[in-house]
Amino acid sequence: MVQTAAPKPLSFEVASVKSSARLAGPDDNNRISFSSAGITGRNATLRRLIAKAYRLQLNQVSGPGWLDQNEYDIDARAEGPADRERLAVMLRTLLAERFRLTLHSEIRSLRLYELVVDKGGPKIRPIGEGSTAAAGHGFVVRGDMQRFADLLAVQLSIAVPDDPARPGRASGPPPPVLDRTALPGIYEIAVDIRPEAGTDMFTLWRRVLQEKLGLRLESRRGEVSVVVVDSAERVPAAN
């Protein structure tokens, strides 16, 4: 019997992964960007890199506390143009190679939010393909509804300061926000949401979602897929 070699995992043509020269802290470690050419990131924690690689939210990645402490810079280029799903698979390969990352998947019961269409129907419409980004103030997102749900999860983790003039800071991984809208297409959402003393971010967003976007957040417990880190190196292997 002729045995065929296992297919080579998808990987970047060239990639650099190194510890960041300075720590930026949890409020600034989300600078990871995808383009058709590859991925760049600055001051990215390993938890956030894993979440991007497996297209999960931060609270769906479980592991040692240092996953949120050490920060890394990454520059990775694909051999040719690649979509986001393909780049995510390449990122999984890169993390396994450079961090000796091993993990497994589990289903856990967690508190979560479901993003759904409000009873009056959505007040947003998909944008046309190739349309230019419009200028906006405050919170601006361009992408599908799952991307909006991912960024909304981060917003809900921000504690509103006592002084409205001061910016709020992320206070830890929030419950997952799952897209249950069934709305297709790409959206451009710009919301000028401002802190109000004595009002938490969930209350602020609940109001904006219903009044401006025709959406609603529902809180419940449910089964959620998570990845659990079994082992990983803090210092990535040499480039």
Which range marks the domain in which residue 66 is found? 14-99
Same domain, 83 and 115: no
Provide the domain count of the chain. Answer: 2
Same domain, 57 and 162: no
pLDDT category at 229 given cuts 50, 70, 90 is very high
Element (H, E) at 51: helix 46-53
Structural domain ending residue among the three candidates 58, 77, 99: 99
Give the phi and the psi of residue 187 in degrees, each rounded to 5.
-125, 155
- Name the more confident of 135 and 68: 68
Same domain, 91 and 121: no
Same domain, 125 and 210: yes
- What's the pTM value of the predicted model, to 2 decimals? 0.74
Burial class (CB in 10 A: 0-12, 13-18, 19+), 210: middle
Same domain, 139 and 213: yes
Same domain, 146 and 58: no
Same domain, 121 and 22: no
pLDDT score of 147: 84
Minimum mean pLDDT among 72-81, 111-120, 126-135, 210-219: which range? 126-135
233 within a domain of the structure (yes/no) = no
Same domain, 66 and 116: no
207 within a domain of the structure (yes/no) = yes
